[in-house]
Amino acid sequence: MTGSPRAIAIAGLAGVILNVVAVVALNPFTSPYSPADIPGWLESCGQYPIRTAVSSFAFTFGLVALAAFALGFAAHLRTAPAVVAAVFIGLGALLDAAGTPAPLVALNADPAVGQAFLRYTLILDATFNGCLGVGLIAAFFAQRSKLRWLALASGILSLPIAFQWMSADAAKLLMLAGPAWLAWIAATSIELLRTEQ
């Protein structure tokens, strides 16, 4: 990758938009991506199969786009902290993308197996949030603009969500951390677009 600001920005904005679409699709669900009520989450998947499909596909493609953004971020800045950020954000995003189709698979499984699929995607999402936290803190050291402070804040908020697989309280932090890191990626993408004008 050459580190083209336009290509990086498009990947980042695509990742943000698709993640927002996925979250909106989950709006009526019971405790999605939280251990608070796995049976309720599975029941919601059955009640809203189209929303389950939209969320699964949007998360999967959105996370792959975020991995591409992270790779481009490192290629553009070419510093050690940027590489660390790319490795953690990119790896976490791709691991999570491997699990986000699981709710769709759970629709056609025995309830016990379906719940196991949801726990699988929950663990991978927790892994993503932990990796994301480390990557965002590394991005703080890589960036030179004021956006670095948003990276630091969202990274600190994301780290405890690594425990969302076992703690509903950790999962609740997604309400704060999610908008923060999505805002950082969107703002960084827009900043990159401006550098090419």
Ranges of each domain in the chain: 5-195
Closest CA to 135 of 194, 106, 168, 95: 95
Cα end-to-end distance, the chain, whole Å = 20
Tokens of 95: 């691991």
Contact (CB, 8 A) for 104 and 60: no
pLDDT in the model for residue 2:
53
Residues 136, 175 contacting (CB under 8 angstroms)? no
What pLDDT, on the 0 to 100 scale, is given for residue 164? 97
Question: What's the pLDDT at 1?
Answer: 43
* Nearest C-alpha neighbor of 181 from the set 96, 120, 116: 96
Read off the pLDDT band of 195 (50, 70, 90): confident
pLDDT digits (tens, 9 = 90+) for 74-111: 999 999 999 999 999 999 999 999 999 999 999 989 99
Instruction: With CA atoms as reference, report the closest residue to 158 among 170, 141, 144.
Output: 170
Q: How many CA atoms lie within 13 A of 124 on its CB side?
A: 21
